[in-house]
Amino acid sequence: MADKQERLAKWRAQLEKALERFPERKKSFTTSSGIELKTVYTDLDLPPAVDDFPLPGEFPYTRGVQRNMYRGRLWTMRQYAGFATAEESNERYKYLLSQGQTGLSVAFDLPTQIGLDSDHPLADGEVGKVGVAIDSLADMEVLFKDIPLDKVSTSMTINAPAMVLLAMYLVVAEKQGVDWASLKGTIQNDILKEYVARGTYIFPPEPSLKIITDIFAFCAENVPNWNTISISGYHIREAGATAVQEIAYTLANAICYVESAIKAGLNVDDFAPRLSFFFNAHSNFFEEIAKFRAARKLWAEIMRHRFGAQNPKSMLLRFHTQTGGSTLTAQQPDNNIVRVALQALSAVLGGTQSLHTNSRDEALALPSEESVRIALRTQQIIAHETGVADVVDPLGGSYYVESLTAEIEKRVKEELAKIDAMGGAVTAINSGYIQRQIQDSAYQFQMAVETKEQIIVGVNQFTVEEETQPDLLRVDPSVQAAQIRRLQELKSRRDSAKVRQALDAVAAAAREGANLFPPVLDAVRSYATLGEICGVLREVYGEYQAKDLI
């Protein structure tokens, strides 16, 4: 061993001297998380007991949550889509399914995300812009018209009003004659990251956590195959976090959700198997792969040792990945095709369960049909032409990947210990600690771009004077007026007394601390609107006001 270490040290010294001939290359090489990289990795850099690593499908699942991974079944190809009206989004979903997509992923517009109907003054100018407008069960019925819900897996990116949108989905399934037990899909339902990264919150943290645990309890009994939360690092990363921070703050939030559910009287093994995660795939290829592997190991150990989970399924970190939206550039947008392909490849090599590939034009507008097809074809080429899906964890045992996995794990543990010492994720959020850490990382990255320490192709280097932009999708401005008309027509023909009674029941359940899901379901069945249901909850719970961190 001593001889090997001496030989390696001598080799590295000789190499460093040789590299002095290339002053144009920076002398310090680090990952996006600031992990300093060695010139070469050997078995001396492997973490302890690496030769004893369990196989894929074995605790702590570093190498994958299934024994056979993609040999048994490919990841779900789930393109995120939604814009304008329910009719137009329904057409896009049918198109994507016809092109080989294997799961739906619904994007809602901003008013829907914050529990406002399309006729609310604050919704003006935003209806149908960044997603589909859903005001009531009537819209949800149109959104999934002629799409058999027992045959597709549906993900809905919705948080503060997640219970209401899931209730609408369940009632649409009822109307299709589909048993809830056969439904498969996910609601994001991750409110804590909204306070630090996105801002589409409604209620304060405490009642928001109560709503989430109500969903856990209801679905554990009634919708057993539904993923009741997708604990999201994606938006944390988009806000400027590093890879290490993405994992640390996501797991801190996950710990909080599990603690809240246990405190509410739920058994960990009754709800934990349906927890899922949502991560980002950025461009530092090997760091992303190592990040996914480290996250799996950390979560398995947290569930077994911290929460005493007995069911192996409670320990599995199953995750969806989306390629990095913030890495896309408006300049030379075709370059984004290459970025997305490499990011998607890192997610597959990291063992993702489902994947969304961004489209080349998303830095400019909602993606066009042609751009979405290219993005979907990117996944299909990775799956069927590259051979990377033929072996489970093909990079396992790599000196570099294993060392990087261990270093990310170590740094995440250190950050989790800091948050635990503060009293947990909610305290860390309320104090502004997590927000400040993310802001600092975002600032440091931008400074690296400004000084060209970080090269962004087509932005701060390799630029062109004149660029040809692709044809962009444009949402018809008349969508808002049409949506408001539809909403007014619904209100004129529904049973107003039945709606009022249902809304009163929701308010009563909120005041009494009862499970909200049954009365919300009844309100949805009466065609109470999203804004009306969230409105009565606002009256009981109040609204969250963000603190100024400056």
Strand partners, 186: 155, 227
DSSP annotation of 283 reads S
pLDDT at 1 over 80: no
Query: What confidence score (pLDDT) does residue 550 get?
Result: 59
The H or E element that residue 323 is part of is strand 319-323
Query: What confidence score (pLDDT) does residue 14 get?
Result: 86
523 in Cβ contact with 533 (< 8 Å): yes
Give the model confidence (pLDDT) of 289-344 as tens digits: 999 999 999 999 999 999 999 999 999 999 999 999 999 999 999 999 999 999 99
Domains of the chain: residue spans and CATH: 59-450 (3.20.20.240)
Query: What confidence score (pLDDT) does residue 50 get?
Result: 60
How confident is the model over 37-48, as a mean pLDDT?
88
Query: What confidence score (pLDDT) does residue 9 get?
Result: 87
For tokens 């699942």, the residue is 61
Query: What confidence score (pLDDT) does residue 7 get?
Result: 87
Measured CA to CA, the distance from residue 33 to residue 441 in angstroms comes to: 9
337 in Cβ contact with 327 (< 8 Å): no
Query: What confidence score (pLDDT) does residue 49 get?
Result: 65
Q: What is the mean pLDDT of the chain?
A: 94
247 in Cβ contact with 233 (< 8 Å): yes
Give every CB contact of residue 304 below 8 A, 6+ residues apart in sequence.
Answer: 59, 60, 315
DSSP annotation of 185 reads E
What tokens does 68 get? 């056979």
User: Between 212 and 28, where is the model more confident?
Assistant: 212
SS3 sequence, 51-110? Answer: HHCCCCCCCCCCCCCCCCHHHCCCCEEEEEECCECHHHHHHHHHHHHHCCCCEEEEEECH
Least confident of 74-83, 377-386, 416-425, 493-502: 74-83
Query: What confidence score (pLDDT) does residue 531 get?
Result: 98
DSSP annotation of 469 reads P
Query: What confidence score (pLDDT) does residue 431 get?
Result: 95
Query: What confidence score (pLDDT) does residue 475 get?
Result: 79
Give every CB contact of residue 195 below 8 A, 6+ residues apart in sequence.
Answer: 201, 205, 429, 544, 546
Measured CA to CA, the distance from residue 505 to residue 215 in angstroms comes to: 17
Q: pLDDT category, 399, cuts 50, 70, 90?
A: very high
94 in Cβ contact with 380 (< 8 Å): no
Give the model confidence (pLDDT) of 426-473 as tens digits: 999 999 999 999 999 999 999 999 999 999 999 999 999 877 777 887
Give every CB contact of residue 332 below 8 A, 6+ residues apart in sequence.
Answer: 457, 458, 463, 464, 467
Give the model confidence (pLDDT) of 131-166 as tens digits: 999 999 999 999 999 999 999 999 999 999 999 999
198 in Cβ contact with 157 (< 8 Å): no
Measured CA to CA, the distance from residue 479 to residue 473 in angstroms comes to: 14
* Furthest CA-CA distance within the chain: 85
Give the model confidence (pLDDT) of 483-513 as tens digits: 999 999 999 999 999 999 999 999 999 999 9
Instruction: Of 459, 60, 123, give the one whose Cα is nearest residue 294.
Output: 60
Measured CA to CA, the distance from residue 303 to residue 297 in angstroms comes to: 10
Predicted TM-score of the model (pTM): 0.94
For tokens 């398995």, the residue is 300
Strand 354-356 versus strand 153-157 pairing type: unpaired
DSSP secondary structure, 189-257, as one string: ---HHIIIII----S-HHHHHHHHHHHHHHHHHH-TTEE-EEEE-HHHHHTT--HHHHHHHHHHHHHHH
Strand partners, 155: 105, 186
pLDDT at 402 over 70: yes
Give the model confidence (pLDDT) of 174-208 as tens digits: 999 999 999 999 999 999 999 999 999 999 999 99
Question: CA distances (Å), 234 to each of 185, 278, 361, in order?
Answer: 18, 6, 19
Measured CA to CA, the distance from residue 541 to residue 203 in angstroms comes to: 6
CA atoms within 13 A of residue 493's CA, in its CB half-sphere? 7
As to burial, measured by CB atoms within 10 angstroms (0-12 exposed, 13-18 middle, 19+ buried), residue 103 is buried
What is the percentage of the chain residues whose pLDDT exceeds 90? 85
Helices and strands, counts by H and E, the chain: 20, 9
Least confident of 229-243, 389-403, 423-437, 467-481: 467-481
Whether the bond between 60 and the residue before it is cis, its omega within 30 degrees of 0, is yes
326 in Cβ contact with 280 (< 8 Å): no
71 in Cβ contact with 389 (< 8 Å): yes
475 in Cβ contact with 84 (< 8 Å): yes
pLDDT at 51 over 60: no
For tokens 């300093």, the residue is 36
Give every CB contact of residue 248 below 8 A, 6+ residues apart in sequence.
Answer: 411, 412, 415, 416, 419
Measured CA to CA, the distance from residue 143 to residue 249 in angstroms comes to: 34
What tokens does 209 get? 């956590």
Query: What confidence score (pLDDT) does residue 27 get?
Result: 63
How confident is the model over 34-48, as a mean pLDDT?
89
